[in-house]
Amino acid sequence: MWHRYLPESSAWPAGEFGVLAERYPVYPGDIIAAAASGASTAEEAVERVRATSRGRLGPLAQLLPCTFTWDDLVTTAAMREAIEDLIFEAGHRIPFWEGAEARRLFPQGQGLVALICGPPGIGKTMAAQVIAATLGYDLFRVDLAAVVSKWVGETSQNFERILSRAAEMNAIIFFDECDAVFCKRTSEVRDAQDKFANTDAAYMLQAIESYPGIALLATNQQGNIDPAFIRRLRYLLEFARPDAGQRLELWRKAVRGLAGEDRLEALEPALRLLAESVDMTGAQIKYAVLGSVFAAQRNGAPVQLRHLLRGLEREMAKEGRALGARERERLLSHGR
């Protein structure tokens, strides 16, 4: 149909056209609309196809910008390989599930659902954005405040509305803090509220198992997720806090990006010391560097170690931590 309604597509590179045809299941009207819009390359056709479905979730989800790349994601080799496996399956799943034997063996469970878990600030949302960007899909974060309701049955209705609309889109849906939806069912039903909460949970477990698309879920509290839901996952990506080597890489990337290559070279000894001495997540490091940049601008000076420490202490204070006077002096004296 692409060749019929957009004849110039026959001359597009085979690899690019293959991605368009295999990765984006569209209706005939979508193809005709892309052709009528004047798409002249496979990349333009993909963008037209993505644009046609962006408004289908309405206020139930937010379109997230996917500007991060693999270079931004600092993780272990094993985690990177697991994410690459997920991306490969996501990119080749549509023609696979069109096979009769695959559909016979898996009448349900044809969707691709992954749980990304770990402490706050270690890159769960960034991982989802890298996955979507690599695949060329839009990423929609579901607004759980608009989904979860105190009224009986309304949460499951909202959830069904999201999944039914998302199934018609060329996109990935992202449930952040998903334990609010997929929480453990109550074993001891004490009142009607417990009964209906269990009913909602059971419905949502069945709905996500039947969902034919790609869904990424993130949580800081894996222990709160219903074990029956864990068994339905295709992937479980468990992130850990960065070690000293990863922290150094995160410091370097943040300083290079926000302060420049010259400041990175000047601050290299200080960054090594900070990475070895202070346990921080990637998000905390990024915001510490951001704070140091503005502190340096306020002082009319280039970013220095004292500015990094100011930003660092601001992030530590959010967790009720602080650098002792002796530790601060040690960092200042050895980091020059």
- The ranges of the chain annotated as CATH 3.40.50.300 are 60-238
- The ranges of the chain annotated as CATH 1.10.8 are 244-334
Q: Give the residue-averaged pLDDT of 105-113.
A: 85
Check residues 92 and 229 and name the one with the higher pLDDT. Answer: 92
The yes-or-no verdict on residue 194 having pLDDT over 60 is: no
Fold of 244-334: Helicase, Ruva Protein; domain 3 (1.10.8)
Q: Percent helix, strand, coil in the chain (nearest 5)?
A: 60, 10, 30
pLDDT at 184: 56
The yes-or-no verdict on residue 196 having pLDDT over 50 is: no
Q: Give the residue-averaged pLDDT of 214-226.
A: 83
Q: In the structure, what pLDDT confidence band is assigned to residue 189 with cuts at 50, 70 and 90?
A: very low
pLDDT at 192: 43
Q: In the structure, what pLDDT confidence band is assigned to residue 191 with cuts at 50, 70 and 90?
A: very low
pLDDT in tens, 239-261: 999 999 999 999 999 999 999 99
Q: Give the residue-averaged pLDDT of 150-154.
A: 59
Q: CA angle, corner 117, sides to 241 and 273, nearest 5? A: 10
pLDDT at 110: 84
Cα atoms found within 13 Å of the Cα of residue 311, Cβ hemisphere only: 25
Contact 182, 217 (CB under 8 A): yes
When the pLDDT of each residue in the chain is averaged and rounded to a whole number, the result is 86
Closest CA to 173 of 216, 129, 130, 124: 216
pLDDT in tens, 262-287: 999 999 999 999 999 999 999 999 99
- CATH class of the domain defined by 60-238: alpha beta
How far apart CA 271 and CA 254 sit, in angstroms, is 11
Check residues 225 and 182 and name the one with the higher pLDDT. Answer: 225
Q: Is 69 left (phi over 0), alpha (psi -120 to 50) or beta?
A: beta
